[in-house]
């Protein structure tokens, strides 16, 4: 039986609201408190979601004895500080992706979780959805033969707004950290599945991109990675040029079309993938939401790991997180992304 968790929500932004909506459908979790930098924001959030307590600081949330796990949804630059403080407070941690601005800070967070004996998961919610789990099964079973090529793209066309966090260097803005982390994660997952492992790291990585002429953050970037087994991955991300969110996996005997690889089941949507096998009719594999939202799967995965006595969640292990961050560091370096 999974562990019942009392969640504290650390921040009140858009992504925290998404998590809260789906947490109501979780079989294992209940939100009991929220913390914000301004008490009025916390109180408004608490009223909206009928939470028992609202705290006027993140520190006060971490001091709440009723909170056993925290969801951290702040902008990227604050992840390391508050994840480490959460570990020091003895709280289990689900921290939004990317776990930190770079691999070094991610390692600091992991070290704090190890030292204080708490669970830590980087919140790649798509990794916990049934669609992703089925993709891994298909690849491992050889449904499309030997995997040869992975194409993954996360591009969102947005008007330039210097106040938006995507374009603010002080908030860790840019497409690579915010969006590109998903195609990298997806390719590493599928390349690993092809080899019967949880993930794989690229043997070669070549990248380029464009810095926005005003903001100085990356708004379009592309990369090619080569994985063990001669698997090639073509990756792209962007925030101003085009809207394209999709993935395809090509093998020696077919291919899999994944129309919604990174936010499957968002807002309660039903999803499907299409399996194309050589010499056979396309097979649609459906994933009805069943009333369970994307983030509920993630919260339940955390509880299931705790019930087993684990401090890592297999869908997104610490080694997987640091491997992903290493690739993102290389991508940002190739494009010339620098933070204050």
Of the CATH numbers 3.40.50.10890, 2.40.170.20, 3.40.50.150, 3.40.50.720, which one belongs to the domain with range 5-123?
Answer: 3.40.50.720
pLDDT for 3 beyond 70: no
Q: What percent of the chain has pLDDT over 70?
A: 99
- pLDDT band at residue 40 under the 50/70/90 scheme: very high
Output DSSP code: residue 90.
Answer: T
In the chain the first and final C-alpha atoms are separated, in Å, by 46
* Reported pTM: 0.96
Contact status, residue 257 vs residue 248, Cβ threshold 8 Å? yes
Burial 109-132 (b: 16+ CB within 10 A, else e): bbebbeebebbbbbbbbbbbbbbb
Catalytic residue positions, numbered:
97
Contact status, residue 280 vs residue 287, Cβ threshold 8 Å? no
Q: For 75-96, how does the pLDDT look when each residue is reduced to its tens digit (9 = 90+)?
A: 999 999 999 999 999 999 999 9
Asked if 5-123 and 130-293+322-335 have one fold, the answer is: no
- pLDDT band at residue 2 under the 50/70/90 scheme: low
* Residue-averaged pLDDT of the chain: 96
- Provide the pLDDT for residue 62: 98
- Provide the pLDDT for residue 339: 84
pLDDT for 251 beyond 80: yes
Domain spans, the chain: 5-123, 130-293+322-335
pLDDT for 1 beyond 80: no
130-293+322-335 fold: Dihydrodipicolinate Reductase; domain 2 (3.30.360)
Q: For 274-304, how does the pLDDT look when each residue is reduced to its tens digit (9 = 90+)?
A: 999 999 999 999 999 998 999 999 999 999 9
- pLDDT band at residue 241 under the 50/70/90 scheme: confident
- Provide the pLDDT for residue 4: 84
């Amino acid at each position: 039986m999974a562990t019942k968790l009392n969640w504290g929500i650390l921040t009140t932004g858009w992504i925290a609201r998404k998590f809260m909506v789906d947490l109501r459908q979780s079989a294992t979790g209940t939100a009991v408190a929220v913390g914000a930098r301004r008490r009025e924001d916390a109180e408004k959030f608490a009223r909206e979601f009928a939470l028992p307590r609202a705290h006027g600081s993140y520190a006060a949330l971490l001091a709440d004895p009723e909170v056993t796990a925290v969801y951290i949804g702040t902008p990227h630059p604050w992840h390391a500080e508050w994840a480490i403080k959460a570990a020091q407070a003895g709280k289990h941690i689900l921290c939004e992706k990317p776990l930190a601005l770079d691999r070094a800070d991610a390692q600091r967070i992991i070290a704090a979780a190890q030292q204080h004996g708490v669970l830590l998961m980087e919140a790649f919610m798509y990794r916990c959805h049934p669609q992703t789990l089925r993709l891994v099964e298909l690849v491992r079973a050889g449904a499309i033969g030997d995997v040869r090529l992975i194409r993954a793209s996360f591009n969102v066309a947005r008007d330039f707004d210097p106040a938006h966090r995507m374009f603010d260097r002080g908030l860790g803005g840019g497409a690579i950290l915010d969006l590109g982390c998903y195609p990298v994660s997806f390719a590493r997952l599928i390349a690993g599945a092809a080899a019967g492992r949880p993930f794989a790291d690229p043997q070669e990585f070549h990248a380029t991109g464009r810095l926005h002429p005003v903001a100085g953050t990356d708004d379009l970037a592309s990369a090619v990675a080569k994985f063990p087994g001669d698997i090639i991955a073509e990756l792209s991300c962007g925030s101003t040029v085009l809207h394209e969110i999709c993935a395809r996996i090509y093998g020696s005997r077919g291919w899999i079309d994944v129309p919604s690889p990174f936010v499957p089941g968002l807002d309660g949507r039903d999803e499907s993938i299409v399996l194309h096998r050589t010499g056979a009719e396309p097979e649609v594999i459906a994933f009805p939401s069943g009333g369970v939202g994307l983030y509920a799967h993630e919260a339940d995965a955390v509880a299931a790991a705790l019930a087993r006595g684990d401090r890592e969640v297999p869908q997104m292990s610490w080694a997987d997180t640091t491997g992903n961050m290493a690739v993102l560091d290389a991508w940002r370096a190739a494009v010339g992304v620098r933070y204050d």
